[in-house]
Structure 1
Amino acid sequence: MNKRIKSLDFIRGFAICGILLINIPAFVIVTEDMKLPEPTHIESMISSLINILVTKKFFGLFSILFGIGIGIFMDNCKSKGISPYRFMSRRLTFLLILGIIHMVAIFWGSILVPYALIGFIVMGLYGLSSSILKNISISIVSLYLVSVIIKSFHIEFMGLDFIVNDSILILNFFIIGLYMVKSRYIYSEDSIVSKINRNKYIFLSSVSIMIMVVIIYIAGTYQSKDNLDISLLAIPQTILYFLVLQNISLKIKKIVFAFEIIGKMAFTNYVMQSIIGGILISVLGIVFPNSAQILYLALIIILINFICSYLILKYFKQGPLEYIWRKLTYRTLKKS
């Protein structure tokens, strides 16, 4: 149960590198009097590609992994004879505190606080069976997708904006991650049954994406500014990414190494990205990063992430923030 699942480190590392592309513009606080340069044709194309391939999908990947993390953590608690709810609630409380510090002192767009708060909800679902979790997820997905489709046809009613809120999307991805643990899928990713299920869901996700593309074309939301097309594709694309990346991690070991190293220190690297990004933008005198600048800033930051992660993990088992988070949680348990 304590054996580390390497494919998760790879996907986690890949996810935070993708999240970085979305976060870099948010490292700059935009004011009303700030004049933003008009993007060139190439910059607009890069921005469109980031929206289509990255926006919401990589936060989705990270959310599935967080849900998996909650499930594995609580399973480990049970195997050690520790109350999983008591242990996990302490862990999430410290994440909330660290997230508030990150949000106030470094990066206002930090995901740590919402992840901690939504984590408390998902923690309460741990006792449910995998079949119930699956039905809950299907219900949320159905409600979310139907609501996005309704909104894409310019129909509005009370509560619609709440249903299509990103928090609902994150909650659902957390539940999908917890389901993967409760169904034992994540513990047996190398088994023949898991491989068959993975390929089946890759096919279903691909078909779902094609159906969504048709709906987007009919509704004309690809021309809208509210990114409903991105919301509509977020769930099937994220699931497809997760399954394909899992296949890659199990088959092509050499490619996954760099992302695996970054993923082992995901917490530290996520916070480090906001610090390094802010410094680089300030030093380089960038008013607001365009798409091309986002790409080269991301490459620099990811390279620094890898080098730091490689050197730290060469001498230590964990990154500094992972160590602090673990120590705070265990220390509190021992005192109680």
Structure 2
Amino acid sequence: MNAQQVTKQDRISSIDIIRGLALFFILLVNMPDFYMDFSKIVEPQTEDAWLRLSYDLFIQRKFFTIFSFLFGIGFYIFMSRAEEKGEKRIYLLFIRRLLALLIFGFIHHMIWQGDILRDYAVSGILLLPFYNRKPTTIFTWVAALIVIHFTATVYCMIYFLMPNDGLHMFSAISFFTGTKFQICIMFLLGLYVGKIRIFTRVSQSSLLIRRVQVVSLIISLPLLYGIIWTHPAILLGSTKLQNHANLQTLFVNCSGIPLALLYLSTLVFILEKKRAQRCLQPIRSVGQMALTNYLLQTTIAMVIAKVFGVNISNSLTKDLFISIGIYVIQMVFSVLWLKSFQHGPMELLWRILTYGRIRNKVSQTHVN
């Protein structure tokens, strides 16, 4: 194989920027959990109630869902570029890539119990049978899974509003409202978007993107109201609503996909403007080193919590400022690193574990 130079210009800037933004909001959500004992539930302080509500409305589940979507796009980019470069066993190559990610995830889990890399590595296998499928087939699967997801959510809401003895049925159905099922949906949706190349043909796809924007907004509004209605600091109409915590969790989870699509469709239009891309270059650098920065967030936060003894789980306001500080450090680090290197340190290790060697003179479009 003759390795061809793939320059930085071949990267899709908007994907890197969205990934970088998602990393910041994921850090906001994860921050309280870096210190707390997962066997205990720590409620935010009263003065943080409105900030907690804002997180649940606009951040919780939304950016993790976006990250899953980008993983699906990255899968398509990885496989298609491997084919273009003449790789013989692209499926085996991707499996090796997932195994390396699984190793990272297990090591990360030893440090912090909130790791998501293992779920990505395991769920990523499900993408392989869909790579050579037609976009319409993939979209049909996505639509069917979304219907199942929303139907299961409605069933669980009814269960909590009118408790009954169907515990076993509830336990089985609740899987379709959870994290792993959402990951599978967004992986496939990302693969679909990658295949129809929306991110490289925004102007030609503007009508489709606008429709997604409008529909996702319409779907999101009642779900956002549900979050407000069941929020413990508000509980519109009654402070005695049964199972309000379970209902709120369902509303938050269910809002993840439609609001993520609203954010994505809006950002795609914004990032078509060169000025916006120039202003967000430091964030793009964070997104180019997504794996490194995801693990670095844990490292810095755990040092703050465990070494310096700062309790970062008792105040969301304090967490917000600490998160901003960590992210600024990551932006500076990423910009400086990428001035000298084509890949982040963990990205380079990931490539070595994937290919079994350092691929000289090849800089590949980001594939997380």
The verdict on a shared fold, with TM-score over 0.5 as the criterion, is yes
Distance of 2:59 and 2:259 partners within structure 1: 9
Answering whether residue 221 of structure 2 is matched by residue 210 of structure 1, we say: yes
Distance of 1:333 and 1:322 partners within structure 2: 11
Deviation of 1:6 (Å): 0.5
Q: 1:237 aligns to what?
A: 259
Answering whether residue 27 of structure 2 is matched by residue 27 of structure 1, we say: no
Answering whether residue 148 of structure 2 is matched by residue 124 of structure 1, we say: no
Report the aligned-residue RMSD.
Answer: 2.3
Q: Is the 8 A contact 2:57 2:224 kept in 1?
A: no
Answering whether residue 301 of structure 2 is matched by residue 296 of structure 1, we say: no
Distance of 1:255 and 1:10 partners within structure 2: 10
Distance of 1:291 and 1:281 partners within structure 2: 14
Deviation of 1:333 (Å): 10
Deviation of 1:212 (Å): 3.7
Q: 1:193 aligns to what?
A: 204
Distance of 2:206 and 2:325 partners within structure 1: 36
Distance of 1:147 and 1:182 partners within structure 2: 29
Q: 1:324 aligns to what?
A: 349
Distance 1:36 1:187, change over 3 A: closer
Q: 2:296 aligns to what?
A: 272
Distance of 2:343 and 2:357 partners within structure 1: 19
Distance 1:31 1:55, change over 3 A: closer
Q: 1:108 aligns to what?
A: 113
Q: 1:311 aligns to what?
A: 336
Distance 1:49 1:31, change over 3 A: closer
Deviation of 1:228 (Å): 1.3
Distance of 2:219 and 2:43 partners within structure 1: 37
Answering whether residue 189 of structure 2 is matched by residue 176 of structure 1, we say: yes
Distance of 1:210 and 1:144 partners within structure 2: 18
Deviation of 1:51 (Å): 1.1
What secondary structure does 1:109 align onto? coil
Q: 1:138 aligns to what?
A: 143
Segments of 5+ residues of structure 1 without an aligned counterpart are none
Of 43-52 and 287-296, deviating more is: 287-296
CA deviations on 1:18-48 (whole Å, 9 max, x unpaired) are 100111112124176x7957612x3111111
Q: Which amino acid aligns with 2:188?
A: I
Q: 1:86 aligns to what?
A: 92
TM-score (norm 2): 0.83
Q: 2:101 aligns to what?
A: 95
What secondary structure does 1:285 align onto? coil
Distance of 1:241 and 1:145 partners within structure 2: 19
Q: Is the 8 A contact 2:32 2:316 kept in 1?
A: no
Q: Is the 8 A contact 1:152 1:221 kept in 2?
A: no
More helix, by proportion:
1
Q: 2:16 aligns to what?
A: 9
Q: Which amino acid aligns with 2:303?
A: I
Query: Aligned residues: percent identity?
Result: 28
Of 270-279 and 78-87, deviating more is: 78-87
What secondary structure does 2:200 align onto? helix
Distance 1:311 1:170, change over 3 A: same
Distance of 1:125 and 1:210 partners within structure 2: 32
Q: Is the 8 A contact 2:48 2:316 kept in 1?
A: yes
1:47 to 25, 29, 52: 52
Deviation of 1:8 (Å): 0.4
What secondary structure does 1:153 align onto? helix
Deviation of 1:207 (Å): 1.5
What secondary structure does 1:269 align onto? helix
Distance of 1:31 and 1:169 partners within structure 2: 22
| Relative contact order higher in (CA < 8 Å, ≥ 6 apart) | 2
Distance of 1:64 and 1:31 partners within structure 2: 27
Distance 1:38 1:314, change over 3 A: closer
Distance of 1:84 and 1:200 partners within structure 2: 35
Deviation of 1:254 (Å): 3.3
Q: Is the 8 A contact 1:12 1:65 kept in 2?
A: yes
